[in-house]
Amino acid sequence: MFSMIMALLLIQPYQGSIPTEEASAVSEIVTVMSESNLLSLASKRKYLVRVGKKIEHLHPLDFLKVVVVSRPLLEHIRNIQKSTVKWRAFVSGISKGFEEAFLKGEFDKEMISFCEVVKIAQTELMPLIKKKDWESFLRTVIRQVQVASSPQEIENEAIAKLPTNPK
């Protein structure tokens, strides 16, 4: 619970702001996936699908941005990566969103803004996007955001950029 509250406090605006309810849903999905063992995760599948429906309309880069600007959520993503089953499920879910956004032509414009905010060079990510290698894209973003800034710097910047009146 504490990590979810901390994650919500660290959400950074993304071309405006992500409504608190949606950021909370992102945090909930990542936290539940990380903290649950595989057996209990199977029993929480319907719950996760229901929470996911609340954020279906979010651009997948918005989802990813909520994750990478939050130290607690970065820790949860690291935990998810340690489990092949959890990681595959996570990659599969977000890849569908990436693919839809790519096909709609919404990826390049959003990518520029995303890279500016998370301080990752577009040149590293664009070849992965062109190949539609979403897993490598995710791994690179997670790795590079950790290299680009310490978690404390990310938190401080995120707190400084919080919207004063979130939706």
What average pLDDT does the segment 81-98 reach?
94
The string of pLDDT tens digits covering residues 55-78 is 998 999 999 999 988 889 999 999
The answer on pLDDT for 7 being more than 50 is no
The string of pLDDT tens digits covering residues 20-41 is 889 999 999 999 999 999 999 9
Share of the chain above pLDDT 90, in %: 51
Confidence at 19, pLDDT banded by 50, 70, 90: confident
Q: Where are the alpha helices (DSSP H) in the chain?
A: 2-9, 20-35, 38-43, 45-53, 60-68, 71-82, 84-104, 107-118, 122-131, 134-148, 151-160
Confidence at 11, pLDDT banded by 50, 70, 90: very low
